[in-house]
Structure 1
Amino acid sequence: MAQASGGYLKTESLTPGHWFAVLLVFVTGVIHVYAGIIEGRIPVSLAGVGFLGAIVLFLLDYRRRLLYPVGIVYTVVQFPLWYVANAGEYTTLGYVDKTVQAVLIVVLAFLYWTER
């Protein structure tokens, strides 16, 4: 899919901060897909697919600047959904995911602010 010159992926301009954001999105996406499959909760898996789809859009440079605020909102919404859906049965994996997401929100806000 990726070509060396004039290819599909537009990664030349990505900084270490961008790659850190991609890593965080990947981690939370994989956690969601995994947890959704293990717990039998399709919406959780779909949330993970949403995160992973965002990586594809980001690497294709599809409205990259718009992905920051959309990603912030999408990630923030995960917190109350997780709180309500688990109703006191929180797991270590859930806490790890929320930590990753909290850092992701900060990184996305930083990227949005610095690329104005």
Structure 2
Amino acid sequence: MRVATADSRVAWASLSTRHWLAIGFAVVTALVHLILGLEFLPHWMGIAFLATTAGFALGIALILLNIARQLVYLAGIPFTGAQIVLWYVLNEPTTVADLSALEAIDKIAQVCLLGALIVLLRRDRQPREPNHE
């Protein structure tokens, strides 16, 4: 009897460099939100940060398992964009100097993640020509 492991369920062959870049950016922002969530607990902001961490972790898992990738890209774009907008509204920075190192890392990762998700969405929507070798 063969026992299925998590490793055997990951769709390694279907992951491109673009996927790995997006996963890397999502991991960075998830870790930042995890750190902030733990620091802010039991305040409601801590719970919000941890929920955001869970959202990014779910997206990463779905991509790795090759489950509804188009939907993950589509949901990930407004989800990540909302993180940037909410941060701006809540913090009202006036200059780059207003950002902490953690905030700067997070915002750079989120902007890069947005770009990666848009590229992945556009690339996956294009019809593929058959390979005639």
Greater Cα radius of gyration, structure 1 or 2: 2
In structure 2, what residue type is equivalent to 1:111? L
User: Is 2:16 the counterpart of 1:15?
Assistant: yes
Partners of 1:112 and 1:43 lie apart in 2 by 27
In structure 1, what residue type is equivalent to 2:12? T
Partners of 1:18 and 1:61 lie apart in 2 by 11
User: Is 2:85 the counterpart of 1:84?
Assistant: no
User: Is 2:83 the counterpart of 1:74?
Assistant: no
Instruction: State TM-score, norm by structure 2.
Output: 0.77
> What is the CA-CA distance between 1:83 and the residue it aligns to?
1.8
Q: Structure 1 residues 54-63 or 38-47, which shifts more?
A: 38-47
Q: Cα deviations across residues 34-54 of structure 1 (Å, max 9, x unaligned)? A: 111113321012101110111
In structure 2, what residue type is equivalent to 1:12? A
The unaligned stretches of length 5 or more in structure 2 are: 126-133
Counting aligned pairs with the same residue, the percent is 33
1:29 aligned residue: 30
Q: Structure 1 residues 90-99 or 100-109, which shifts more?
A: 90-99
Q: Cα deviations across residues 34-92 of structure 1 (Å, max 9, x unaligned)? A: 11111332101210111011111111111011111111110000012112333457422
Instruction: State TM-score, norm by structure 1.
Output: 0.88
> What is the CA-CA distance between 1:96 and the residue it aligns to?
1.3
Q: How many residues align?
A: 113
Partners of 1:92 and 1:84 lie apart in 2 by 19
1:2 aligned residue: 6
The unaligned stretches of length 5 or more in structure 1 are: none
